Structure 1
Amino acid sequence: MTKQPTLRSMAAASALPRLEFQMLWEHILQVPRVWLIAHDTDPISAPDIARFEALQERRLAGEPMAYILGYREFLGRRFKVGPSVLIPRPETELLVEVALRHLETATAPYVLDLGTGTGAIAISIALARTDAQVVASDVDAGALRIAHDNARDLNARVEFFAGSWYDALLDSRGFDLIVSNPPYIAADDIHLRQGDLRYEPRCALTDGHDGLTALGSIVSGAVQRLRPGGALFMEHGWDQAAQVRQLLQEAGFAKIESLRDLAGIERVSGGIYL
Structure 2
Amino acid sequence: MTTPSHTPVNAARRGSCTLVGAGPGDPELLTIKALRAIEAATVLLVDDLVSDAIVAHASPTARIVYVGKRGGCKSTPQAFIEKLMLSAVQEGETVVRLKGGDPFIFGRGGEEVEHLREAGIEVQVVNGITAGLAGLTSLGAPLTHRDHAHGVVFITGHAKPGDRGTDWRQLAATARDARLTLVIYMGVSSVDHISTELMHGLPGETPVAVIQHASLAHQRHAITTLGELPACLATTGLGSPSVIVVGDVVRGVRALAATDTTAMTALAAATA
Q: Work out which structure has the larger RCO, using CA pairs closer than 8 Å and 6 or more positions apart in sequence.
A: 2
Higher helix share: 1
Q: TM-score, structure 1 length as denominator?
A: 0.35
